[in-house]
Amino acid sequence: MKKLISALLISTLTLTVFAGCAKDSKKIVVGASPTPHSEILAVAKEVLKEKGYELEIKEFTDYVQPNLTLENKELDANYFQHQPYLDDFNAKNKTNIVSAAAVHYEPLGFYPGKVKKLEELADGATIAVPNDTTNEARALLLLETIGLIKVNPDAGLNATINDITENPKNIKIQELEAAQIARSLADVDFAVINGNYAIQAGLNAATDALVKEEKESLAATTFANILAIRKGDENREELKALIDALKSEEVKKFIEEKYQGAVVPIF
């Protein structure tokens, strides 16, 4: 009798474990920046729900923890960054994270601070830019497009203020953490702000920026925001379902209607 009871208990526990695994395989945990990534994922969540998947969204307000948390297997994927940033992060942190899909890009914008018009920019003006490697280079290239500076072409996406070769207006480049720039607009003459942080601050690159990266620019492909996963997870069915959901018509319509050009789908 005891053997029978033990056998039944083992069978029950085994079934419970398998049931738990089956349930877990239907749950996807994704890290994301609050805006617009988390909002976009909320739409994908409903698409996934119809396919029997549960999506849990964990929000992060910085650019470091989402990758570290993914690498530590606390997340199945993250959605907040572009490929050049990921490449730089992998190289510096010895992580093994790859892109699973490119979803959208957010035009980097040149926003007025204390000075409201570009033609009023005075000699010695202060312009804030992101201080992380790839976004700083991107910001400097945008300033070059405007005609304010010239950057050593050999520096490419690794350009820093040390690669500025011409600065006729003696502009002071203030390097700040990307998340802090929008809050510092009142303290600088102009600022180059990442799309997601601009949106969080109530700004829209399509309407509030004096100049922005255009859809036809290099930014549309090079700086597309990606769904990132651990290397080796490319064939997981639930992640394939997540990619399909993020590239669905429902998500595309949401992005176009919600952000009005501040976020641009590339699928």
Distances, alpha carbon 165 to alpha carbons 107, 140, 144, 168, in Å? 25, 11, 11, 10
Indicate the SS3 state at residue 225.
Answer: strand
Same domain, residue pair 178 and 229? no
Summarised one tens digit per residue, pLDDT across range 35-85 is: 999 999 999 999 999 999 999 999 999 999 999 999 999 999 999 999 989
Query: pTM for the complete prediction?
Result: 0.74
Same domain, residue pair 127 and 163? yes
The residues pairing with 54 across neighbouring beta strands, listed in sequence order, are: 27
Q: Is residue 205 part of a domain?
A: yes
Calpha distance 103→58 (Å, rounded): 18
29: alpha, beta or left? (left if phi > 0; alpha if psi -120 to 50):
beta
| Residue range of the domain that includes 230 | 27-106+222-265
Q: Is residue 249 part of a domain?
A: yes
Same domain, residue pair 70 and 113? no
Summarised one tens digit per residue, pLDDT across range 212-266 is: 987 777 767 788 999 999 999 999 999 999 999 999 999 999 999 999 888 999 9
Domain count, the chain: 2
The residues pairing with 105 across neighbouring beta strands, listed in sequence order, are: 264
Nearest to 103 by CA among 235, 236, 259, 207: 259
